[in-house]
Structure 1
Amino acid sequence: MAVTSRETQQANEPSGRFVHAFAVTEADIKACQQLRYRIFAEEMGAQIDGGPERLDIDRFDAYCHHLVVRDTEQDRIIACTRLLTCEAAAQAGGFYSAGEFDMGTIARLPDRKVEVGRTCVDAAFRSGAVISKLWQGLTAFVTNHNYRYLFGCASIGLEDGGAQASAILDKIARRYMAAETLHVTPRRPYPAQRPPAEIAMRMPPLLKAYVSLGAKACGAPFWDQAFNCCDVLMLLDIDELAPRYARRFLPSTPTVTQRDDHLPTHV
């Protein structure tokens, strides 16, 4: 399942400065990998060997659809995420998240699934408008192609030693936890800490978007030491999408045509 250049450019009607589309050229995929490197390695301090071109690349990229938000004024990619469908994951040898969690409970869900990963937004464009464009593209894809579940790792940075993470995880445990039957087991659990008595909690934009849409956390977080963060596996059942976001994001008619024979085989 993949996209053609013409179809991708028609993924949404441009409304204002930002538009979403799927990357269909090697140049656009490389731009995603360069943006990821800037955010994850240079900004967050992740241990990534980016090579001379400073790219964040892993073996899953070749199996994923790369969704981007483009700034039409500057004609450049300012946000990106990648989608790994259950069909493509079977070809890739599993989902990326399986490297961090025992995913048995998710694998046993009966309907089709899409994993979202490597989401990042240029520091100068971290606004609700850009995040909304990403979610418009995501929800259009999953609904047009009858995927019921969307899941992925939402990262919480540990740059402050874990104070923010402790407060955020405490809030998640109290308000946004999935049923135990959906819990996954982290392969390297993040050591729980007591939240500071007083802290101005700032939930990361991606995690905030997940919970606003109605997603739930599937148990304890994974400690990603290479990326200096802890990852919470979030699961969204599209059938239970929060009503006001369903009206906003779900397409009334199909908007993107996908084909299986154009999936990128290398990046």
Structure 2
Amino acid sequence: MIQLLPQTRTPRFEVRFAETEAEILATQQLRYRIFAGELGAQIDGGDAGIDADQYDGHCRHLMVRDADSGEIVACTRILTDAAAERAGGFYSESEFDLEMIRALPGRVMEIGRTCVAAEHRSGAVIATLWQGIAETITREGYDYLFGCASIGLEDGGAAAHSILETLRGKYMTAASQRVRPYYPLPLADRRPEGAVRMPPLLKAYVSLGAKACGEAYWDRDFNCADVFMLLNVSDLNPRYARHFLGKGRSEAREAVALA
């Protein structure tokens, strides 16, 4: 009698760094489809329909792929402190005065241009992306992670100001760890209609223990408010540290989905 061994389920989503020019191009095309096509950002994508800038060549591009279809469904790019020196600075320096970041002790890295395909904005995909980020932090010994989380301004900024009010009350850094936006978000002329929910990326940041470093930048090209978020790795929420840094992706996915 033949005894069949139990089958292990292969994860649907996999995360890794882009290894070829074609894979980097695919992440840039995903960025363009979301930022320009969906959000209306003013981007000259050329004939190939890509979102690219002078920082891309200095970044490592982390991507989440659907193992069933092979499609890239989420991506972010990582700019380390060493790479930023070669690039002439961090991307966020185009929006904020980052003097505070340069004074932090230890190693820092920036994530940016983070996006997830509309049909995959679930806990599973976002958790898989953060798993890759967390593995990079621990493997390479970074002390701080920072980046911008965007809030859309389709309603004129009412929802953004409501979210910023929540951040000021619960998730703001100490005064010594603030950054200054070069173009602060202007006041909205009305209150939001109905309940307001944090965008998935911003929600993931605060769930992990990151804090907002002051007022938002008004990104007129992307029609959004950018909130500068800082995560001190030593302050990582213990619940999420256990899931992201010590256990498997299935548990990390559950942690984000329940956040």
Q: For residue 151 of structure 2, what is the aligned residue in structure 1? A: 156
The one-letter code matched in structure 1 to 2:240 is: Y
Does 2:84 align with 1:89?
yes
C-alpha deviation, 1:193, in angstroms: 3.6
Residues 33, 55 of structure 1: 8 Å contact kept: yes
From 45, 52, 57, the counterpart of 1:57: 52
SS at match of 1:53: coil
Residue 106 of structure 1 and its aligned partner are, at CA, apart by: 1.0
Map Cα deviations across residues 179-228 of structure 1 (whole Å, 9 max, x no partner).
01000000111113477275310210000000000000000110000000
Q: Per-residue deviation at 1:102?
A: 0.3
Mapped partners of 1:68, 1:128: distance in 2: 16
Q: Is the 8 A contact 2:156 2:188 kept in 1?
A: no
Distance 1:251 1:196 in 2: 42
| Corresponding residue to 2:75 among 75, 80, 86 | 80
Q: Is the 8 A contact 1:166 1:194 kept in 2?
A: no
- Quick one: structure 1 residues 167 and 194, their matched pair in 2 at CA, closer, same or farther if it must change by over 3 Å? farther
2:165 to 166, 170, 175: 170
Question: Aligned Cα RMSD in Å?
Answer: 1.5
Q: Secondary structure of the equivalent of 1:250?
A: helix
- For structure 1, the 5+ residue unaligned runs are 1-13, 253-267
Amino acid at match of 2:144: Y
- Tell me the equivalent position of 2:223: 228
1:22 aligns with 2:17: yes
Q: CA deviation at 1:251?
A: 4.5
Mapped contact 1:82–1:119 kept (Cα < 8 A): yes
Q: Which runs of 5+ in 2 are unaligned?
A: 1-8, 248-259
Alignment equivalent of 1:139, drawn from 118, 127, 134? 134
Q: Read off the aligned partner of 1:76 and give its amino acid letter.
A: E
Moved segments of 4+, more than 2 Å: 192-195
The answer as to 2:42 corresponding to 1:42 is: no
Q: Which residue of 1 aligns with 2:174?
A: 179
Q: Is 1:212 the counterpart of 2:207 in the alignment? A: yes
Query: Which residue matches 2:95?
Result: 100
- The percent of aligned pairs where both chains have the same amino acid is 58
Structure 1 residues 125, 50: CA separation in 2 closer, same or farther (over 3 Å shift)? Answer: same
Q: Distance in 1 between matches of 2:233 and 2:47?
A: 41
Structure number with bigger Rg: 2
Instruction: Give me the whole-angstrom Cα distance separating, in 2, the residues matched to 1:177 and 1:194.
Output: 24
Contact map agreement 2:157 2:187 (CA 8 A) in 1: no
Tell me if structure 2 keeps the 8 A contact 1:20–1:134: yes
Instruction: Say if 2:122 is the partner of 1:112.
Output: no
Q: Counterpart of 2:191?
A: 196
Partners of 2:194 and 2:215 lie apart in 1 by 22
TM-score, length-scaled by structure 1: 0.87
Say if 1:199 and 1:166 are closer, same or farther in 2 by CA, change over 3 A: farther
On the 8 A contact 1:167/1:195 being kept in 2, the answer is no
Aligned residue pairs, count: 240
Q: Does the CA contact (< 8 Å) of 1:170 and 1:195 recur in 2?
A: no
Does 186-195 or 199-208 show the bigger shift? Answer: 186-195
AA partner of residue 145 (structure 2): L
